[in-house]
Structure 1
Amino acid sequence: MPYLYRLTSKHTLSIKQLQHALKLVVQKHQSLRTSLIFDEQNNQLMQRIIDKNDDNSSLFTFIESTYETDGQLDSIMHDEKGNPHLFDLSQGLVCRCHLLYHKQHPRNDLLTDKDALIFNFHHALFDVPSMDVFIDDLNQAYTTGQLSHDDNTTLRYLDYAVIEQQMPMTGARMFWLDTLHGCQLDRPLSLPYDRHRLTDEHRSGRGTSVSFDFGLDLSHLFLSYASSNNIQPQHLILAAYYVFLFKLTNGERDLCIGINTYGRYREEFKQVIGMFVNAIPLRCQLDPHWSFHQLLEYVQEMESNSMKYSYFPLQRILDLYRNISKPAFLDTSFEFSISEAELDVNEICIGDSRCSYVPYSTEISEDEIMSKFDFILTVQHDLNTVCTSITLVVESTV
């Protein structure tokens, strides 16, 4: 998960100070120094926290290089995004800082506005909300040269696993059993395709993206309808998405799709760095005789109830249906998010310096993007993107 930043005009950063601040942040957050090793003998994934005081262990990766053109910067970001060899999970190296100097290394130990820096994290131990926690702590560590914490009183990512194991799950288990009763979880939606994919081994990770803007008039009507009917915008979009899938699949009434939830259902989790994201199914049993308003009320109740029990881990949901070899609902997804302009990471402060976030495109080529879904609708405030796997359709179909 790479984040690319550039310093704003006339701002500088001390490289030595930044490196020390990074060390303090990684020492504080155990998830940033956690190794993942698969124990073949016991057939299970093992986690081990690297001792923060172990002088023989590198707690994070810190590298420096140069670039001259924006094209070279894009190539570096593409490598940071897609190169699986940049991290060493067995050694707990899940955090990277890549300094990019414009044309040459500085002589005065300072990053300038012509330079760039990339913070990159392995997704197994980091999610989007973690970035706010990381930046806040980095700023404090850079400014003061210290970062106070107490493992005995501060909630750790490890505590999240313990809390999850101790939570009463009976109610959530019964909810998902009832919600998914009779649902054919291994049957994919009959979406139209141009290229047939036999198995997951043939998934290329390439997709086609089409972006479009609702425009001011349609956006105003959309928000006015949601407001006048006391409906959240994501419920309105989700209901329309189900209608679209109903038509796209030639009238399939049982529509089960996947959605990612942030999983930080307790206030204490908001200050912890880690991977809290949990995927859950959203099942809509659509009655073609409903009016759109009836469907909207149904979707609103269904989504709200599903979110109440979104803390139930995906693996436990799948364990309820052990006869299912592959959950097909994960191939069709929905995402509703705020626009990048409103994200806290859009502009950050490190000490007295300001850094601007540089958006990174997932484009592979002019017509292709990286995609792990067969079909996904991603909705932002004024940007709506439909992504489908290039192995299934060509651009003209999208």
Structure 2
Amino acid sequence: MTTSREFWRLQLEEYNLKSRSLLPVDRHRLSNNHRSSSASVTQISFDNEISQSFLDYASIHHVTPFQLRLTMLYAFLYKSTHGENDLCISCLNANRYKTELQNIMGMFVSTLPYRMQLDPHWSFHEVVKYVRERCLSILKHSHYPLQHILANLHINQSNISFLESVFDSSTVLSQSDELSLDEASFKQVSFEQSFEVAKFDFMLTFIYNPILENNRLSFLLTCSHNLFDESTVTNPDRRLEYCFQQFFSSNETINWIDTCFTSISKFDLILSDETQEMEDVIFCRQSYIMNEGMFV
């Protein structure tokens, strides 16, 4: 326990615990304000080509899908915050660190802070390796309770920003959506049927479903209406989708990034319609300009 206590102290040492939301918001919620349950939920699904490219990259570079998805999120947040390289979010952890816990039914999930300090000059591949190493080090100390981590740092849980930005990742392992225990029957409820309830200010959930013929990889973005207008939520999910396309699409007009050499500061989140809009403003011919010139 002493080793884990020291690990988590170093993990959060000198981190700005009062930093605001990692995404641009329409308004800020004061720490003493209660969160309403109202939220906007958007879902983006990737085609088989991008899904397979993602899985191939993970296999070739010996990282788990969780680690690669987390890397994508940090690269996205780095660009969304205009170069903020000291980033911390919370991740849901299975918390089954003992062999005897693996097959026991019950809720063991815990929340842990994942702090990443990125170098803007790193390539995407270097960021992947860094995130992998951090995840492995956190895994060794994942049994240490969050309340102990915060108490040891004399932190009040009610005003910690990274606890309001949450990442989760899940894989569908069974084709059946029903589970029977004795005489009770449980049925899985799809995300489309779920209520739009905000447990956090911002939550990103990646889902991998190998059973599907298409759209095997998808993500759900849940944003609290306390911070985000409904019309605003479509922007981060489109940018995150574009982020994936830049790294994993075979379309060379989209995927121009060399993951081994191009620094993470070089890729962008400007969408094609925004690029067109900027070009129209800069280069569009104005109605008051006449076709006149001077002959020399």
**TM-score (normalised: structure 1):** 0.52
Partner of 1:333: 166
Deviations 1:41-76 (A, max 9, x none): xxxxxxxxxxxxxxxxxxxxxxxxxxxxxxxxxxxx
Cα contact 1:265–1:311 (8 A) shared by 2:
yes
Question: CA offsets per residue over residues 101-151 of structure 1, 9 Å max, x none?
Answer: xxxxxxxxxxxxxxxxxxxxxxxxxxxxxxxxxxxxxxxxxxxxxxxxxxx
Give 1:358 shift. 4.0
What is the one-letter code of the residue matched to 1:334? F
Query: Which residue does the alignment assign to 1:370?
Result: 197
Three-state SS of the structure 1 residue aligned to 2:14 is coil
Please tell me whether residue 198 in structure 1 is matched to residue 27 in structure 2. Answer: no
SS of the aligned residue for 2:143 comes to: coil
**1:346 to partner: Cα distance:** 2.5
Amino acid at match of 1:386: L
Equivalent residue, structure 2, for 1:359: 189
Q: How many residues align?
A: 223
Residues 71 and 131, structure 2, Cα contact 8 Å, conserved in 1: yes
Q: In the alignment, is the contact (CA less than 8 A) between 2:22 and 2:77 conserved in 1?
A: no
1:347 to 154, 161, 178: 178
1:301 and 2:128 aligned: no
SS of 1:213's equivalent in the other structure is strand
1:176 and 2:13 equivalent? no
8 Å CA contact retained: 2:180, 2:186: no
Aligned amino acid, residue 397 of structure 1: T
Match of 1:241 among 69, 73, 77: 73
Amino acid at match of 2:205: T
Match of 1:386 among 207, 213, 221: 221
Give 2:150's aligned residue.
Answer: 318
Contact between 1:186 and 1:324, CA under 8 Å: does it hold in 2? no
Partner amino acid, structure 2, of 1:251: G
SS of residue paired to 2:144: coil
Task: Check 1:318–1:344 CA distance in 2 against 1; reply closer, same or farther (3 A cut).
Answer: farther
> Which structure has more RCO (C-alpha within 8 Å, separation ≥ 6)?
2
Alpha-carbon shift at residue 189 of structure 1 (Å):
3.3
Alignment check: 8 A CA contact 1:189 1:255 kept? no
More strand by share: 1
Structure 1 265/193 Cα, relative in aligned 2: closer, same or farther at 3 Å?
Answer: same
SS at match of 2:205: strand
2:94 matched to which residue of 1?
262
| Alpha-carbon RMSD | 2.3
The alpha-carbon deviation at position 202 of structure 1 amounts to 3.3
| Structure 2 SS opposite 1:296 | helix
**What are the residue-to-residue correspondences of 1:1-398 with 2, within 5 Å?**
169-270=1-102, 272=104, 274-324=106-156, 326-339=159-172, 342-343=173-174, 346-350=177-181, 355=185, 357-359=187-189, 361=191, 363-364=194-195, 369-381=196-208, 382-398=217-233
Partner SS, residue 283 of structure 1: strand
The 2-side partners of 1:269 and 1:227 are apart by: 27
**Unpaired stretches in structure 1, ≥5 consecutive residues:** 1-168
Q: Percent identity among equivalent residues?
A: 37
What SS class does the counterpart of residue 183 from structure 1 fall into? coil
Query: What secondary structure is seen at the aligned counterpart in 2 of 1:394?
Result: coil
User: 2: distance between equivalents of 1:196 and 1:178?
Assistant: 29
CA radius of gyration, larger in: 1
Q: Cα distance 1:205–1:235, how it changes in 2: closer, same or farther (>3 A)?
A: same
The structure-2 alpha-carbon separation of the partners of 1:268 and 1:197, relative to structure 1 and needing over 3 Å to count, comes to same
